[in-house]
Amino acid sequence: MTRNVLLAGLGLLPAVLAAQTHFATRNGEISFFSSTPMEDITAVNRKVTSVLDPTTGAVEFAALIKAFEFEKALMQEHFNENYMESATYPKATFKGTLKATSGDDLRTAGSHAVTVAGDLTIHGVARPVAVQGTIVTTAAGTMKATSEFEVKPEDHGIKIPGVVRDKIAKSIRVKVNLEYSKL
């Protein structure tokens, strides 16, 4: 009996060890900014989920489109109904890998410049992206990932009516801030 318990415990050991290398967040933040001479538009989503495996560099995140908050309720309504069609395309996702630019181990405490590459899916359209970012690993075992990049609405099939085209930038500035804890 004791032998069976010991064997079962040893059988679970790899799964327990593997789980210790993963980091996750449920309250990451993605914001975007559109600036034109006619109007500036800012929105933020503080309910982004993400999982990161610093051993392999695998990273994924998901952001519910309806969770983006705007200063003006009418902007938020138009964003969800007219442009993002959030009832049809409820979330944006990213799945890819990140690699330390200098090749160092991301689990080591310190700041690490990284390159993130993978598929960004918005409005049901997946596009390959490669951006620069930073991972800060603390001695306490947490990780913070940040990145800033541009996204063009038309690259993801988002149609902007001519009437408001001058109020929305052709390229939207996106900022990602994710604070991970060990799973």
> Phi and psi (nearest 5°) for 157?
70, 20
Of 31, 59, 176, 175, whose CA–CA distance to 116 is shortest?
Answer: 59
pLDDT along the chain (183 residues), means of 10: 45 46 96 92 97 95 98 94 95 96 88 97 98 95 96 94 84 97 93
The contacts of residue 120 (CB under 8 Å, 6+ apart) are: 92, 93, 94, 126, 127, 128, 129, 151
Return the residue matching tokens 């309720």.
Answer: 73
Is the pTM higher than 0.75? The answer reads yes
CATH code of the domain in which 141 resides: 2.40.128.110
Asked, for residue 8, whether it belongs to a domain, the answer is no
Of 5, 2, 102, 106, whose CA–CA distance to 56 is shortest?
Answer: 106
Residue 136: which domain range? 22-182
Asked, for residue 46, whether it belongs to a domain, the answer is yes
